[in-house]
Amino acid sequence: MADNLLDKASILLTPTAYNDGSMLSVKPENGDGDFTFSRGSAATRVNEQGLVEEITDINLPRIDYTDGCGSWLLEGQSTNLVNNSELLNTYFTSKVDTTITDNYGTSPSGETNSSRIQFVDDTSFCYNVISVSTDHTSSVFVKGVSGETVRFGIGSSVLTGDLFTFNGLWQRIDFTASSATQIFFSSYGGATTRDFEAFGLQLENLSYATSYIPTNGAIATRLADVANNSGNSSLINSTEGVLYAEIAAFDDISSLKMITLQSADNNNKVSIGYANATDGVRVIIRANGSNIVNQNFTASNLTDFNKLAFKYESGASSIYLNGSEVLDLSSANFTFSQELSKLSFDGGNTANPFYGKVKALAVYKEALTDAELQSLTTI
């Protein structure tokens, strides 16, 4: 039934097609549902072959396959503070009983540009000096013998960070700290590996790791993804309808990250997204410049994909999450003073942009039944 319900949508976006400057909607076919897209810099993704691929076209959207299934990847701006992310022998200026061989093996990019790191014993390490006094996240791709461990991260010494266990394949590991003077690999503190490969070292001024940002001699910045201007008033009902999204959050939801149906003046809108609260989802109905609904609810595992449906209808609004009604908003009565005419990955007029992963986004021009909403959102 859920597939048939997607056929009823007036706007339907899935991770299927894009071109320079556009995320192409499946419906409608005439392009009125397409999103205008921009980024302003190169960026990377994991492609269908599982390889880390650099997208050099600055306005080309990304469909990412990190999870094995494609999803739109929308990220905020971030900078890799490691100036030689693929030449670790150059970057790690301090080495004790450690040999690093650059351009050694086939990395996750499919090229011969991994670094081999060999430790002599259980007191070997390599590091570079950093200065961190707020949340920063270090990340790197590693490959070693399955079951062996390595110590990696940022901290005050090579005994900090964390122990990570190899799975025998390339895997990305990360570690976050709010205070650090070093970024390092070491064989201290129970680490068992003496020989492994590494690729794509990254340090970001964030509490979570974003997609890989390559550097070669200088730090580099990936600019934010911007996607908006989908739809028009003929595709969006200003009396009743449904805004549906299958989305996953990044680890940080410290600020609002919204998806919105809005009027031209943004005084009328229907929004859903992540709240600046632990495991929080925010829903908003704004009519004639006043918030009729502005409410959070708790949802667990937001970094997993969740299916959310926001039915908006005066006196009959509700929220469904993963097959169940989680909010009854029937007490909210409203009339929009200006028709809803635009769908955007933000909170309206580019504020509170949505950052996360998207498998589906849909708009319905009718208020679906409870049975339909349950079917549409069932995982």
Which single residue is written with the structure tokens 């076209």? 57
Mean pLDDT of 134-160: 98
pLDDT confidence of residue 279: 66
Indicate the burial class of 77 (C-beta count within 10 angstroms; 0-12, 13-18, 19 or more): middle
Please give the sequence-ordered ranges of beta strands (E in DSSP) within 187-333, or none if there are none. Answer: 195-204, 220-222, 226-228, 240-248, 257-262, 269-274, 280-287, 290-298, 306-313, 317-321, 324-329
Q: Is the pLDDT of residue 145 over 60?
A: yes
Q: Is the pLDDT of residue 222 over 80?
A: yes
pLDDT tens digits along 226-250: 999 999 999 999 999 999 999 999 9
Q: Is the pLDDT of residue 121 over 70?
A: yes
pLDDT tens digits along 280-311: 899 999 999 999 999 999 888 899 999 999 99
Number of alpha carbons in the 13 Å side-chain half-sphere of residue 55? 26
Comparing CA positions, the residue from 243, 236, 240, 227 lying closest to residue 28 is 236
Q: Residue 22 forms beta bridges with which residues? A: 19, 36
Separation CA 92–CA 116 (nearest Å):
13
Q: Is the pLDDT of residue 101 over 60?
A: yes
Residue 301 or 168, more confident: 168
pLDDT confidence of residue 301: 87
- Give the H or E element holding residue 111: none
Q: Residue 37 forms beta bridges with which residues? A: 227
pLDDT tens digits along 345-364: 999 989 999 999 999 999 99
189 within 8 A of 123, measured Cβ to Cβ: no
What pTM did the predictor assign? 0.95
pLDDT tens digits along 49-83: 999 999 999 999 999 999 999 999 999 999 999 99
Count the Cβ atoms, other than its own, within 10 Å of residue 217: 9
Contacts of 351 (CB under 8 A, 6+ apart): none
Q: Is the pLDDT of residue 342 over 70?
A: yes
Report angle CA 355, 361, 365 to the nearest 5 degrees: 135
pLDDT confidence of residue 4: 82
13 within 8 A of 361, measured Cβ to Cβ: yes
pLDDT confidence of residue 2: 64
Separation CA 25–CA 331 (nearest Å):
34
352 within 8 A of 273, measured Cβ to Cβ: yes
